[in-house]
Amino acid sequence: MGRLIIISNRLPFSLDREGDKVSLRQSSGGLVSAIKSYFENAGAQRGDLTGKMWIGVADFPQEDWDQVASAHAAEQDFDITPIFPDKDVYDKYYNGFSNSVLWPLFHYFSSLAEYEGHYFDAYLQMNQLFAEKIIPILEPDDQVWIHDYQLMILPHLLRQKKPDATIGFFLHIPFPSYEIFRLMPTEWKKTLLHGVMGADLIGFHTYDYVQHFLSSVKMLLGVDNYFHNLQYQDRLIRIDLFPIGIDYNKFHQMVADPEVEETWKWRGVPVWEHDGIICTGETYKKVVKLTFAKGASLDDPKGLFNSSLEGNTRRAIDIHEDEEIDEAALQDLIRAAVDLNTGG
C-alpha cells in the first residue's frame, strides 16, 4: 500500500490576497476539475492508498503559501507540494515550448509553432526540476500519475532514478498524426516519445490518439506494438484510451446548494415583460444588472442571451444598492427600468 501522487503543471488552487488575508481558490481548467473530483471521490474510496499528494507549480509567492499551508492541511485530505521555479525559465517552458510549440502542433496548427531552441532547453530544465522535487519524496509502492503535455519528459527522468516506480501518464490534449508530429526537430520528437515511455501506462482520450502515438513510436523509435502493448527497454508498457470528463453528480447536486440558489435567484430568469421587451435580473455583490432583449420571447429563452438572433438587441444597466434587494424591491426597479428604456 502506498500513496497516490498527482503531478501536473499547475496546482489545483490559487491564492487570493486581500490586505493581510490570504485565501484558497480552486483553479479553473478541465484538468483540475476532472482530477480534483477523482481525488475527492473515487480516489478517496480506494483502500490500497495510504495517502494522496498533488505536486505542481505555484502561481503565488512562497510567503503566501507559508501563511495558508497549515490551514489547507486541515481542510483537505491530500497533501500539496508546490514548486517555485525561476520565472524566466518557467515562461520559456510554459508560454514558450508548451504553448507555442506543443499546443499548436498537437492541435494541427503547425504554421503557428515556434521552433526556438531556448524554449526546448527550458522545457528540459523544468521537467528536470519536477524530477528533483519528486524523487527524494517517492516511497516504495507509491503510484505516480503525471498529467499533460507540459511534462512529457518527466516519466523517463523518474524512471532513471526509480526503476521500480509505478508511473502513469495521461495526455489531456490530442496526440497528432505522425505526419504532423514529425515536423518537430528530430531530437525533440524522439526525446518526447522516449520521455513518455518511461511510464508503465500511457493514456489518451480517444482511439485515434492511441493509434497516432503508436505510429510515431514505430516510425521514430522502431518499436512495434502488439495491440496496445509495447515492449521497450525490458519493460511492458500499456497504451490505452480513457475518455475523461467532469464529475457530473457534483455539478448536478450544486443546483440544490443554498448558496448557488441565492446566487442564481434572478440570473437568467425572465421576470418582466413590457411591450415586447423582456427584462432579466441578475444579482451579484449588491449589484442588480438588468438585461433587456428586444424581439425575444418568453417561449424562446435562448433569445435572451443570443445576440446573433435576428432582430434581437440587448441593453443592460447596473443599479447599485447599499442593502440586499428583495423580490418586491426588484420588481419595482425592473418596472422603473423598463419604463426608462421604453420611454414609458
CATH number, domain with residue 117? 3.40.50.2000
pLDDT, position 30: 67
φ, ψ of residue 233 to 5 degrees: the values are: 50, 50
Together in a domain, 177 and 294? no
Query: How far apart, in whole angstroms, are the C-alpha atoms of residue 101 and residue 113?
Result: 5
φ, ψ at 306 (rounded to 5°)? -100, 95
40 part of a folded domain: yes
Q: Which residue reads 499533460 in cell numbers?
A: 148
In this structure, is residue 332 part of a structural domain?
A: yes
Give the CA count within 13 Å in the CB-facing half-sphere of 84: 7
pLDDT along the chain (344 residues), means of 10: 90 76 69 70 66 87 75 66 94 97 97 96 98 95 95 97 96 96 96 97 96 96 92 94 80 74 51 48 45 46 39 42 52 57 49
Residue 78 belongs to a domain = yes
The closest of 334, 323, 324 to 263, measured between CA atoms, is 324
Specify whether 307 is located in the same domain as 234.
Answer: no
226 plus 262 within the same structural domain: no
Q: What pLDDT does residue 132 have?
A: 96
pLDDT for res 278? 47
Pairing of strands 143-147, 166-170: parallel
Closest Cα partner for 139 from 80, 53, 70? 53
Domain end (from 211, 241, 271): 241
225/272 same-domain check: no
- Which distant-in-sequence residues (6+ apart) come within 8 Å of 202 by Cβ? 168, 169, 170, 171, 196, 213, 237, 238, 239, 240
> Do 98 and 216 fall within a single domain?
yes
Query: Does residue 131 belong to any structural domain of this protein?
Result: yes
Do 230 and 310 fall into the same domain? no
Q: What is the per-residue pLDDT for 145?
A: 95
221 and 311 in one domain? no
Same structural domain for residues 122 and 219?
Answer: yes
- Same structural domain, 299 and 236: no
Instruction: Measure the CA–CA gap between 176 and 189, rounded to whole angstroms.
Output: 12
- The domain containing residue 335 runs over which residues? 257-342
- Distance CA(158)–CA(131), nearest Å, equals 6
The reply to whether 115 falls in a domain is yes
Is the domain of 220 the same as that of 300?
Answer: no
Q: What is the pLDDT of residue 329?
A: 59
Residue 116 CA to residue 118 CA, distance in Å, equals 6
Final residue before a domain boundary, out of 214, 241, 268:
241
The amino acid at residue 316 is A
Q: How much is the pLDDT for 331?
A: 60
Residue 290 and residue 236 in one domain: no
Q: Does residue 248 lie within any of the structural domains?
A: no
Domains identified in the chain, total number: 2
In a domain, 235, yes or no: yes
Give the pLDDT of residue 89. 96
- Residue that terminates a domain, selected from 210, 241, 272: 241
Together in a domain, 206 and 304: no
Whether 142 is in a domain gets the answer yes
